[in-house]
Amino acid sequence: MDYTMWIEWVIKGFIMIFAVLTGFAYLTLYERRALAKIQVRIGPNRAGWQGLLQPVADAVKLIFKEELTPSTADKLIFFIAPIVTVVPAMIIAAVIPLGTSFILPFTNRVITLYVADINVGVLYLTAIASIAVYGIVLAGWSSNNKYALLGGMRSTAQMISYEIALGLCIVIAIILGDSMRLIDIVNQQTGMWFAVIQPVGALIFMIATLAEVNRAPFDMPEAEQELTAGYHAEYSGMKFALFFMAEYEKMIVICMIAATLYFGGYREFWFLKDTIFSVDRYPLLGPVYLLLKVVVLLFFMIWIRATWPRIRYDRLMAFGWKVLLPLSLAVVFITAVGVVMADQFGPIYIWIIPVLSIGAGLFAALLVNNSLRRKVAHA
Amino acid sequence: MLKELGRGLWTTFKSMVFDPVVTVQYPEEKKRVTPRFRGRHVLKRYDNGLEKCIACSLCAAACPSDAIFVEASANTDEKRFSPGERYASTYEINMLRCIYCGFCEDACPTEAIVLGDNFELSFTDRRDAIYPKEMLLESVADAAQTTPQKTSAGEFTRSVPEMKDASD
């Protein structure tokens, strides 16, 4: 292992962190503009061309804002909690492959387009994603404020509940990809995206990620109307900015994970496999494809936020435990059966997976529909 | 359930793609105000340039927030500001107190004070909130009509214009 290796890793790590931070800044602008467009407004368009400098203005404002620490707060934990929240959101991006590899011009050095290639990359994702819960619950507890505590508790309960469905959906990708290495999973999707083979799994994954990053309609921990902003009620200035940053970075990262596990990652569309749009032909197209997929997935998150109201907390829990968990278990079972049958009787049997899982998904929707129907009193 | 969720999504998508944006880009484009809009006050003049205001202070009396201050002085034929005996040598409106109710308009016997269409009244110093007479008075078309004017004796003895029967 020579020293150039270290230099390469450090540079790639910096680029990754920088990309996630810049992505966070522009995601706030993207969200504000998209929400504004949905609400037939224009949105921020004053700072710079089309408002492109708005994130800079926001950052400067937040840095210079006064920072308050409640006198009865647990000072040390109050200080650590935002850091514990924001760091996992950034380092989780390390294992996500952005592309294959390319040869650095003027040298014969091969640069791979990912920071780390861990053979249990999926395990790393789930492990790091769970750490962020600590930051939120510690923030809620150390603020010494009942609303913050309630927000932190809600958040923890919600994230732990939905992590199970999320984990089972990751299991589906592992079964289909036959590996826990994210690069193998992506390469398995050259022929067909897993979202096409297992649409219900992709859907459950997206729903669970909404709960995992506390986005509407599952933004119960930050319900302004009930909890005055929840776990970060007592935070201000840059500490608040860190929570904000963590939330949006998690959105980006989780969309990158969803794209990697279900939507072909850095690969092109499966029907462009052998054309000039292929990543194999131009390796630098990889990050571009991933960015496009992330932008589209983020738009869905924003769109859902603009449309659906927040669901009640008991229903959120009931939905997580009574609907998503059994459904994802069934879908994992169907996937495993389909993979085994394709193995035994020929690849055409892989299509048993979408048929059966869509059936299971519709059955679950029917049951939810029936349970939500207003009960008619018997005369 | 799925149908309702989908309909909600379609509604927001439709408004994003098809509905025209309603925002007015304010400093660049300004909306027209309505004819009865009550904006900043304007002190009107007669056609010959004399000020309509005769410093009767009825506007100050009518003002519910006591925003108007009027000080009267005597007109002479040498230096005539308005018809009749008196003119407003000081006329100040405190724009921080004014509530734009328009009672001054109603109280005025000569229709001298009118709430105009200007709504851009921002300032950075509290002292700038007091608008003196020079800022409120309507500008004149040519220099010969500026007040004070030199007029012949006995021409402008009435301070309030003579009432005529309504023609229609």
Domain boundaries, chain B: 38-143
pLDDT of residue B166: 64
Q: Return the amino acid letter for A199.
A: P
Task: Please tell me the predicted confidence (pLDDT) of residue A226.
Answer: 67
Residue A89: closest CA among A117, A116, A129: A129
Q: What is the pLDDT of residue A143?
A: 84
Query: B11 touching A, CB under 8 A?
Result: yes
| Cross-chain Cβ contact A40/B22 below 8 Å | yes
Minimum distance, in Å, between the CA of residue B24 and any CA atom of chain A:
9
> CB of A132 within 8 A of CB of A89?
yes
What's the mean pLDDT when you consider all of chain A? 83
Judge whether A269 lies within some domain: yes
Q: Distance (Å, rounded) from C-alpha B11 to C-alpha B21?
A: 15
User: Phi-psi category of B73—alpha, beta or left, where left has phi over 0 and alpha has psi -120 to 50?
Assistant: beta
A240 within domain boundaries: yes
Q: Please tell me which residue, A260 or A286, carries the higher pLDDT value.
A: A260
Among A136-140, B82-86, B143-147, the minimum mean pLDDT is found in: B143-147
CB-nearest to B1 from A39, A304, A369 is: A369
How many domains does one find in chain A? 1
Domain containing A235 equals 3-24+68-312
In a domain, residue A44? The reply is no
Domain annotation covers residue A32: no
* Residue in B2, B12, B21 nearest the CB of A42: B21
pTM for this model (two decimals): 0.79
Question: Which SS3 state, helix, strand or coil, does residue A66 take?
Answer: coil
Number of inter-chain CB pairs under 8 A, A vs B: 37
Largest CA distance in chain A: 85
A48 within some domain: no
Question: What is the nearest CA distance from A298 to chain B, expressed in angstroms?
Answer: 15
Of A72-76, A95-99, A109-113, A126-130, the one with minimum mean pLDDT is A109-113
Q: Into which CATH architecture does domain B38-143 fall?
A: 2-Layer Sandwich (3.30)
Q: Which residues in chain B are contacts of A303 at CB distance < 8 A? A: 9, 12-13
Contact indicator for A177, A151 with CB cutoff of 8 Å: no
By Cβ distance, the residue of A39, A307, A368 closest to B1 is: A368
Please give the Cα distance from A304 to A218 (Å, whole number).
Answer: 10
CA A177 to chain centre: 20
Q: Which two tokens stand for residue A314?
A: 């008991």
Is residue A82 a part of any domain in this protein?
yes
d(CA A137, CA A150): 9
Please state, in angstroms and rounded to a whole number, the distance separating the CA atoms of residues A326 and A159. Answer: 17
Chain centroid to Cα A237, Å, comes to 25
Q: What is the pLDDT of residue A224?
A: 66
CB-based contact, B10 to chain A, within 8 Å: no
A81 domain residue, yes or no: yes
Whether A329 is covered by a domain: the verdict is: no
Q: How confident is the model at residue B94 (pLDDT cuts 50, 70, 90)?
A: very high
